[in-house]
């Protein structure tokens, strides 16, 4: 401590008052008392491509993406795959080998596909991340090589983290295989794993090299996961796009039976709205407190934890949407008939809007309310929650009345029982 104080006293430039920083030119310009303002910006861009038959030898999407920056070379690829995907699509191993064989001057698979457990298990702690990085070292992956991740959102998060922190960033390509990862998490810029009992505690912001969404990869996805991902589409429609909400209402019968055309449009539009928010919302790396894309998520994250991840992320988001919609209505922001439309859509798509983990009496120490406090802490002190003003219009609030929230929760239970 003494050393630090001495340095501060000796350096004539320290301490600088905040106001003085405005006088400093960026490095290269005039310095003030030996202080420079370092400043640069980095533009990010990555393609998000919707396709089918991604690994058909005549589909050039993957090979063109690999060629995007360094086109005159053979690219080294390491592939991590979700065991759930592998279980339901065992042919994928052969298909990828054939694809590489069809493009011998462009693709070198450095090793056989590496299977990893799918679902939340792949991102519990750092074990899988370390294992992946060990494999990267073994096969001499460098910053010009590619790590491909084929799987659900959980696996993409874990592989993305392993790639982002190996050599300070190996290029990674996401190939999402769930509705949720195609329409939401996969097109985002975050990765991470759960640590110290906290979801996504250990993670980075690191945009992928590309995102390749193949609708065929969803064919064998269990119905439960096909449905879960639709919650994110309802979420983003509610805060950003009333026409999309109306489309979801009209298309509910087709979506409820996972009709391919309706699913494809729902996924693409939802991904587009997420991309727009991240790219044009002014805060891609979430420096500020407002998180519009986290509508319904404070309760969702808490419910996932309470259920020890028995309840899927999307299923929990559906409950979070129902709860924050009900609260928006109770607090006088949203008309009752609009709140009812949200409720009807969630039900028409087959979501269960009550779970046993929520049965904990209705006192101020209800375990769900801890989710609000955690969320406040996660944001750095000031709570910012998105509620609904109208269908398609979100609104940021900084205070939640806990008694009213408990009332909203009680209403959810009553509706579920009736």
Of residues 148, 155, 230, 299, which one binds ligand NAD by CB under 6 A? 155
CB of 217 to ligand NAD, least distance (A): 5
Of residues 76, 96, 188, 409, which one binds ligand NAD by CB under 6 A? 188
The SS3 of residue 224 is helix
Binding of ligand NAD by 320 (CB under 6 A): no
Binding of ligand NAD by 226 (CB under 6 A): no
Q: List the one residue out of 242, 329, 336, 239 whose CA is nearest residue 293.
A: 239
x/- site string to ligand NAD, residues 86 to 105, per CB under 6 A? --x-----------------
The SS3 of residue 115 is strand
Beta carbons within 8 Å of 182's beta carbon, 6+ residues apart: 176, 213, 218, 229, 267, 271
Helices and strands counted in the chain (H then E):
16, 11
Binding of ligand NAD by 177 (CB under 6 A): yes
As to burial, measured by CB atoms within 10 angstroms (0-12 exposed, 13-18 middle, 19+ buried), residue 36 is middle
- 96-104, 188-196, 330-338, 371-379 -> range binding ligand NAD (CB under 6 A): 188-196
Q: Could you say which residues in the range 26-85 bind ligand NAD, by CB under 6 A?
A: 82, 84-85
Residue 253, Cβ neighbours under 10 Å: how many?
11
- 164-172, 177-185, 279-287, 333-341 -> range binding ligand NAD (CB under 6 A): 177-185
Binding of ligand NAD by 228 (CB under 6 A): yes
Q: Which is closer to ligand NAD, CB of 47 or CB of 121? A: 121
Cα distances from 348 to residues 179, 221, 248, 295, in angstroms, run 18, 20, 10, 20
- What backbone phi and psi angles, to 5 degrees, belong to 333? -85, -35
Counting Cα atoms < 13 Å in the Cβ hemisphere of 77 gives 30
Binding of ligand NAD by 129 (CB under 6 A): no
Binding of ligand NAD by 151 (CB under 6 A): yes
What are the residues binding ligand NAD (CB under 6 A)? 82, 84-85, 88, 118-120, 123, 151-155, 157, 177-178, 180-181, 184-185, 188, 190-191, 217, 220-221, 225, 228, 312-314
């Amino acid at each position: 401590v003494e050393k630090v104080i001495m340095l501060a006293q000796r350096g004539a430039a320290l301490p600088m008052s905040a106001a003085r920083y405005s006088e400093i030119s960026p490095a290269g310009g005039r310095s003030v008392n030996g202080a420079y303002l370092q400043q640069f910006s980095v533009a990010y861009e990555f393609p998000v491509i919707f396709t089918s038959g991604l690994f058909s030898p005549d589909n050039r999407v993957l090979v063109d993406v690999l060629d995007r920056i360094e086109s005159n070379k053979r690219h080294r690829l390491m592939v991590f795959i979700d065991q759930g995907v592998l279980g339901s699509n065992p042919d994928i191993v052969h298909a990828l080998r054939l694809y590489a064989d069809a493009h011998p001057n462009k693709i070198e698979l450095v090793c056989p596909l590496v299977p990893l457990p799918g679902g939340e298990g792949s991102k519990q702690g750092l074990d899988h991340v370390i294992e992946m990085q060990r494999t990267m070292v073994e096969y001499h992956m460098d910053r010009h090589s590619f790590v491909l991740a084929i799987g659900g959102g959980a696996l993409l998060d874990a592989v993305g983290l392993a790639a982002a922190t190996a050599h300070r960033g190996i290029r990674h390509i996401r190939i999402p295989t769930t509705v949720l990862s195609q329409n939401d998490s996969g097109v985002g810029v975050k990765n991470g794993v759960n640590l110290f009992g906290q979801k996504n505690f250990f993670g980075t912001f690191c945009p992928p090299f590309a995102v390749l969404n193949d609708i065929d990869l969803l064919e064998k996805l269990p119905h439960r996961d096909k449905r879960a991902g639709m919650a994110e589409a309802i979420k983003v429609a509610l805060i950003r796009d009333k026409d999309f909400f109306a489309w979801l209402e009209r298309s509910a019968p087709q979506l409820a039976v996972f009709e391919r055309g309706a699913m494809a449009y729902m996924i693409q539009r939802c991904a587009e709205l997420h991309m727009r928010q991240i790219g044009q919302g002014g805060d891609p790396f979430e420096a500020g407190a407002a998180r519009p894309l986290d509508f319904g998520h404070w309760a969702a994250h808490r419910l996932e934890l309470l259920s020890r991840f028995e309840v899927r992320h999307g299923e929990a988001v559906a409950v979070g949407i129902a709860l924050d919609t009900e609260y928006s209505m109770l607090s006088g922001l949203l008309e009752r008939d609009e709140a009812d439309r949200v409720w009807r859509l969630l039900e028409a798509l087959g979501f269960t809007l009550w779970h046993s983990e929520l049965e904990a009496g209705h006192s101020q120490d209800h375990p769900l309310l801890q989710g609000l406090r955690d969320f406040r802490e996660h944001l750095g002190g000031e709570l910012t929650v998105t509620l609904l003003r109208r269908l398609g219009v979100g609104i940021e609030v900084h205070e939640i009345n806990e008694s009213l929230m408990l009332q909203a929760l009680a209403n959810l239970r009553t509706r579920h029982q009736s």
